[in-house]
Amino acid sequence: MSIEELVKQPSILTSIVGAPTELENVSTSSELRLELAQRLEALEAEASKSRAAFIRNQDAENFNANRQAWGIPDFSEELVTIDDFKNGFLWRFRAHTTSWSHNQYADEWFYTSIEARSVTRYEFWDCDEGPEKADVVFTGTYKTILQQLLADHVHEVLISPVFSKGELVEYVDNFFEDEEGYLLEDVIEDYISRNPNYSAQ
């Protein structure tokens, strides 16, 4: 399977999460983590059982063997590793500049996969002027992190289904091209139109 296809592959968590916002609490609730592991085990599929085991015991061998079956692509240059997970769920996303070959695929996955809804820390890494380092760090819920990125004119976040149709329409209505430095029609075509919650008016 190509990296383009892997990025679009649904997470195993889609089968057992009622609402994506449920994942915002996994970092602080051991009861919720246990419940989600039990839901995965109840599916009785190999991928769901191995993911449940990963939640109960975050094991590197299990992660490396099964991550793609769970909907976590194995990006080149270790853009997403087991160290980005805590208690079986993604807690940190490390975005990278184009110096890393899969950076745009990893970004798309972060914006669109339910796996990312548990993230509470975002880092932007670059190595363009020396050793690699995290230049930008945001913390908060997944949605507040994306809102911070949008405030910094990172329009790619608008492909994320975390933004409702109403929010997207409001964003379009209040878009000022001079302030954003982009044409509204380009932002709609390149990003907003790819959001499943949006339909052109």
Q: Is the pLDDT of residue 129 over 80?
A: no
> What local confidence, expressed as pLDDT, does residue 128 receive?
75
CB 119 within 8 A of CB 145: yes
- 52-56 long-range contacts (CB < 8 A, ≥24 apart) are 54/88, 55/87, 55/88, 55/89, 56/88
Mean pLDDT of 135-148: 96
Q: Is the pLDDT of residue 142 over 80?
A: yes
Mean pLDDT of 168-189: 94
pLDDT band for position 165 (cuts 50, 70, 90): very high
Mean pLDDT of 49-59: 97
Q: Is the pLDDT of residue 164 over 70?
A: yes
What backbone torsions phi and psi does residue 127 show, to the nearest 5 degrees? Answer: -140, 25
pLDDT band for position 169 (cuts 50, 70, 90): very high
> What local confidence, expressed as pLDDT, does residue 98 receive?
83
Neighbours of 3 (CB within 10 A): 16
* DSSP H stretches of helix in 84-175: 103-112, 142-151, 165-173
Chain mean pLDDT for the chain:
94
Percent of the chain with pLDDT over 70: 99
pLDDT band for position 152 (cuts 50, 70, 90): very high
Mean pLDDT of 112-141: 91
Q: Is the pLDDT of residue 60 over 80?
A: yes
Q: What is the pLDDT of residues 8-29, one digit of tens each?
A: 999 999 999 988 899 999 999 9
From CA 8, how far away is CA 25, in angstroms rounded? 24
Q: Is the pLDDT of residue 200 over 70?
A: no
Q: What is the pLDDT of residues 64-117, one digit of tens each?
A: 999 999 999 999 889 999 999 999 999 999 999 888 889 999 999 999 999 999
